[in-house]
Chain A
Amino acid sequence: MNSVMSNIFKYISKYRLYVVLSIACAAVYALLSLYIPILTGDAVDVIITKGDVDFDKIFEILLKDLLVILFAALAQWIMGVCNNKISYNVIRDLRRDAFEKIQTLPLSYIDSHAHGDIVSRIISDVDTFSDGLLLGFSQLFTGVVTILATVFFMLSISWKVGLLVIALTPLSLIAASVVAKLIYKMFRRQSEIKGRQTSYINEMIGNVRTVKAYGRESDVTKDFKEINDELTDVSTKAIFYSAITNPLTRFINSLVYASVALYGAFNVIALNITVGNLTSILMYANQYTKPFNEISSVITELQNAFACAERVFELINRKERVPEKEDAVELTNVSGNVEFKNVSFSYNKETKLIENFNINIKPGMRVAIVGPTGCGKTTVINLLMRFYDTDKGGIYVDGIDTRDITRNSLRRNFGMVLQETWLRSGTVRDNIAMGREDATEEEIIAASKAAHAHSFIKKLEKGYDTVISEDGGSLSAGQKQLICIARLFLALPPMLILDEATSSIDTRTELKIQNAFAKLMKGRTSFIVAHRLSTIKEADLILVMNKGNIVETGSDEELTQKKGFYYNLKTAVEK
């Protein structure tokens, strides 16, 4: 709670001038706008009857009135400008910081958290926080000032009538809170059913092909109808009851108003107050409850905003990955010697994965990583790229512990194509140029040609300028993979990591690419994850993995003779 508050202050303090100005203007506006009914009442008092109108006095009052109006409007305007400024800037700052955090978070965080959840923190939670907390605070402040000033003005006009108003108004608040309690349960049920419906929609619409392939449309529609009818039923009630709140409080306000009119009129007759006083108090009575209702709604909003702030700051204050060593070196002129020394690693403490693994990979070696589905082949990649750090032992490139190398320079020396292709929204060119930003058009085309991507890119609507949507959109899986390979051919790093890099490409194109890869791999240390026996056989060294662990290492020949796990895998394929 306190840490959230101090975080909030940290973000707002940058705009403290605006905050102070906004608060000052809110107070000025509240006071001035509440002064207007008094002036109106004063004016009414000098408009008695035929021939009994004090025009000098009226001019004087109206002139004052005009000034008050202008300054009140000015204060209101400045307050709005300040609030906008604070709110949008804080939103921007939070989003930027959260985004920067994403770039430095350990991958374990990103892998283990639903991306949708992180996105909603950065987008909608930040919005809710800013709207709710900043504007809520300003509303809360204005509300409190308004209430206090109204009480003061009313009591100064007539303490008797003023007290009546103060005594009666809680009625409308009580009514509102009673209704709120009544509908709370209904709203909770509503959002529960809504959540259920949304996930049903997501599941069934997302997989509508499978639904149709098994002819289950009517079953699914029937199930949907059931949830939908339930939702309609609960929603009708929830919305109706919540819609009653307003008329109900309005009704109670009307009663207060009527009582003030009655009691005030009697007081006028008793010459305690003037008609103008009555007019002013009636005007107050009309708007007195408004700030109360606002405050009660602001408080729920504030709670909501606070919860959102907690989620946002939870992300922003997340522990970053192990910081770079101060004397971390840039890795240059890599020859490609990679050594695992006593490496132990696991994703969580309970299940052991790689234990005390040792291997020395000489420059230019081709290393194949094989094993059944889900055996943890990507773990090795995670460690090589320092997406994850080892628990014990270390990985050495050209004899330097990778933890002593800057992450960026280490990664720049690896070229990586993953099985799960990833393209960003943007042009085809942007996507390829990610491999090397300063690449010329010719280099990009040459890389595409090497990756056998040029011919299909040319056929796209706008060639290299074709905009592809997030994650590739209309491109086939094979085409996406070709673009990722073109990226690699543009970067030409000294070491390669190919994780089933050609799994979605048809065999004929694959053959051509394999040749290109073969050329590329010459003299480059390469790590290849593959199912295909032919690729594996060509490797200088094979790491056989099972259930996350490296169970055998050696060449094809050695491992075949050993008749172990690898031998079983291999013979099963050939059978």
Chain B
Amino acid sequence: MKKLLKHLKEYKIQCLLAPLFKLLEASFELFVPLVVASIIDNGIANDDKMYILQRFGLLVLLAMVGLTSAIFAQYYSAKAAVGFAGKVRYMLFSHIQTLSFTDLDKLGTSTMVTRLTSDVNQVQTGVNLTLRLLLRSPFIVFGAMIMAFTVDVKTAWIFVIVIPVLFVIVFAVMANTLPRYNKIQKNLDIVVTKTRENLSGTRVLRAFTRQEREIYEYTEAVNELEKVQEITGKISNIMNPATFIVINVATAFVIYVGAIRVDVGDLTQGQVVALVNYMSQILVELVKLANLIITITKAIASGNRVQTVLEIENFDILNMNKEDNVLGSETGSDASNNDYAVSFENACLTYAGDLEPSLENLNFSVKEGENIGIIGGTGSGKTSVVNLIAGYYKATEGSVKVCGKDVKKYEKNELLNKVSVVLQKAVLFKGTIRDNITFGMDNVSDEDIMEACRVAQATDVVNSKKGGLDALVEEGGKNFSGGQKQRLSIARALLRKPEILILDDSSSALDNLTDAALRREINNLSYKPTLFIISQRTSSLEKCDRILVLEDGKPVGLGSHQELLSKDSGKFCDVYEEIYNSGFVSATKNA
């Protein structure tokens, strides 16, 4: 939270002025009981109507000055709190954009969204109320006590006793409830999860006839939540009656002691009224203070959560400092490598938090225009190869070069212009189909877009929607099927005419007919990109120039389809054969 608060500096002036004006307002409020006392003691006692009129004017003046100060205070605190929150939100959003894929994995989408929305809002409320009330409330409480001392020292001692007692009550209640709120939150989370799961898993749960059991478990969960809420409610419910008793009993004491002091002539009737008034001012402010502390506690917790995200250091190689890559520059100038579109030299990749590398000692070079297939089981490291070429993750050992230059040496956009990746999960954004395909590219003709669509087998997707390229895409591409999304994502990559095109299992939602047509069209592209196709099936890769076979993060075969299957080629790969056979075994059985 501390580091976050540094950014309040920009609003230094507002942060000073807001509480200052608040204090000003409060001090005017503290004068009111004294004025009323003087009306009783001087005006009424002496039948002095002029005097009373003057005092009335004074009261109005105090109110006006109070209002003016309050308006200033509210303005400055709103300005500071909202401005600060806006800045934090922006910092957080742009920070997330720079995070590496590794860190994004760790954070998870819903966490990031919560940080950006409700947590930042909580911080905003916290700062706003702190500026407005944190000084004001204690100031009135202690101010009332001090004013009481100016009226009558002996009676004022009651205030000295009452204030700590009230504080003890308020804080005891809070100390007992605040930790319970966490427990409530935890119980509520369980209820939310169960609710959500029973919606997302309806089919499975009904298929396994779990309804009764689910209802039973849910009832237990809501009962537990109710129990914790009721206990917490019971404790916090003590606060109001307890403070009510303390303040009113104290008022009775003030009257009693005041009576004695008046009897001996040390105090006037009006002053007793003033003392009573001061006592009632305390209560209101104390309750406000208690609520404020709860808000601040929540805001600090939120602030810390935001801070944690902001503190994640950036491991993304695309954003790394150049100095780190002295080594890369030496090999990068090696002219003999320039014929290769991509070359791996002992490349290893170990994801943060993993013990075992996901990719080990990868050594191979790919010529421009070559078609490379990558195959292997789940977790064999296929996607890690993509991550290295596209620079999403940096090689933990060894190096990866694209067009003869170490990936680490590339300016961010330079590499992105050369390499286009179609990710496993196809994503469309709110906007039009055109926006989604151009995706930030300027001055693209419709012909170019439609050509990319033609190759990507997306022409009929565009034509089937009303408005064609201008058809609206809903948030998250909700109005498109999985296969349509994939085809449009491929068109997006193709439009860029990349030197290197990577299809990471990106036609999984397409039926075989469409998939075959897609592959045929890509092979016929005039600009002949270096192509990487990642797939689980050998049939998708048969036409590739070479196929890299991975198992458990290690390369176990490299060669053409025929070479990998032929025992005489010297490139025979039993893993590949096994994968190949598994796809065909049942077919041959039937034949």
Contacts and interface: CB of A to CB of B under 8 A. Distances in A.
Given A84-B233, A203-B430, A228 B93 contact: yes
A392 B464 CA distance: 31
Contact of B222 (A92, A243, A255): A92
A573 interface: yes
Interface in A515-565: 531-535, 537-538, 556
Contacts of A440: none
19 contacts: A50-B262, A66-B252, A69-B244, A73-B245, A76-B240, A80-B233, A107-B206, A202-B113, A217-B97, A258-B56, A265-B43, A372-B513, A385-B207, A418-B204, A425-B193, A508-B575, A514-B582, A569-B513, A573-B516
A507 to B, nearest CB: 5
Given A119-B192, A266-B52, A508-B377, A422 B204 contact: yes
Contacts of A12: none
Looking at chain B's contact residues, the main secondary structure is helix
Interface string B393-431: 000000000000000000011001100110101010110
Given A208-B97, A244-B74, A373-B509, A198 B117 contact: yes
A-B interface, 9 closest residue pairs, ranked by CB to CB distance from nearest = A50-B265, A247-B70, A232-B86, A254-B63, A506-B377, A511-B582, A258-B59, A84-B233, A80-B237
A490 B400 CA distance: 46
B583 interface: yes
A275 B36 CA distance: 11
Given A53-B259, A81-B237, A531-B511, A257 B209 contact: no
A44 interface: yes
Nearest to A208: B104
B585 A511 contact: yes
A103 B272 contact: no
Given A209-B104, A508-B377, A88 B79 contact: no
A444 to B, nearest CB: 15
B191 interface: yes
A328 interface: no
A219 B413 CA distance: 13
A55 B413 CA distance: 89
A11 interface: no
Interface in B170-194: 188, 191-194
Contacts of B98: 217
B497 interface: no
Given A89-B226, A103-B214, 12 more contacts: A52-B263, A73-B242, A224-B94, A236-B78, A254-B60, A261-B55, A266-B49, A373-B511, A407-B206, A506-B536, A534-B583, A537-B587
A77 interface: yes
Contacts, number: 422
Contacts of A85: 230
A437 B214 CA distance: 12
Contact of A572 (B218, B390, B489, B513): B513
Given A43-B255, A84-B230, A107-B202, A373 B245 contact: no
Contact of A254 (B62, B191, B211, B259): B62
Contacts of A198: 113, 117
Interface string A391-428: 00000000000000001100110101010001011000
Interface core residue of A205, A216, A229, A478 (most chain B CB under 10 Å) = A205
A240 B52 contact: no
A220 B97 contact: yes
Interface string B320-361: 000000000000000000000000000000000000000000
B280 interface: yes
A434 interface: yes
A355 B470 CA distance: 35
A33 B482 CA distance: 66
Contacts of B207: 385, 411, 414, 416
B465 interface: no
B219 interface: yes
A99 B198 contact: yes
A568 B98 CA distance: 48
B240 A265 contact: no
A181 interface: no
Given A374-B483, A538-B586, A53 B200 contact: no
A99 B190 CA distance: 14
Contacts of B86: 228-229, 231-232, 235
Contacts of A387: 203, 206
B195 A122 contact: yes
A479 interface: yes
Given A88-B226, A212-B392, A372-B511, A422 B67 contact: no
Interface in A216-257: 216-217, 219-221, 224-225, 228-229, 231-232, 235-236, 239-240, 243-244, 246-248, 250-251, 254-255, 257
A205 B56 contact: no
Interface centre among A210, A250, A435, A479 (most CB of B within 10 A): A210
Which of A95, A209, A213, A479 has the most chain B CB atoms inside 10 A of its CB? A213
B586 to A, nearest CB: 4
Interface in A92-129: 92, 95-96, 99-100, 102-104, 107, 110, 115, 118-119, 122-123
B193 A507 contact: no
Interface stretch (A149-157, A163-171, A277-285, A305-313): A277-285
Nearest to A569: B513
A505 interface: yes
Contacts of A379: none
Nearest to B551: A508
Nearest to A487: B208
Nearest to A215: B416
B238 interface: yes
Given A102-B198, A247-B67, A507 B390 contact: no
Contacts of B479: none
Given A110-B202, A507-B537, A534-B585, A261 B56 contact: yes
A60 B86 CA distance: 60
Contacts of A53: 259-260, 262-263
Contacts of B252: 62, 65-66, 69
A157 B377 CA distance: 90
A21 interface: no
A180 to B, nearest CB: 16
B63 A491 contact: no
A206 interface: yes
A91 interface: yes
Interface in B225-254: 225-226, 229-230, 233-234, 237-238, 240-242, 244-245, 248-249, 251-252
A349 B585 CA distance: 44
Contacts of A294: none
Contacts of B362: none
A119 B195 contact: yes
B215 A100 contact: yes
A323 interface: no
A435 B226 CA distance: 31
Contact of A275 (B40, B101, B423, B508): B40
A268 B44 contact: yes
A476 B199 contact: no
A510 B582 contact: yes
Nearest to B81: A239
A361 to B, nearest CB: 19
A70 B25 CA distance: 34
Given A258-B63, A411-B207, A47 B272 contact: yes
Contacts of B104: 208-209
A20 interface: no
B44 A265 contact: yes
Interface string B93-137: 110111101001000010011001100000010001000100000
Contact of A205 (B44, B62, B96, B483): B96
Interface in A356-407: 372-374, 385, 387, 407
B89 A269 contact: no
B476 interface: yes
A488 B511 CA distance: 27
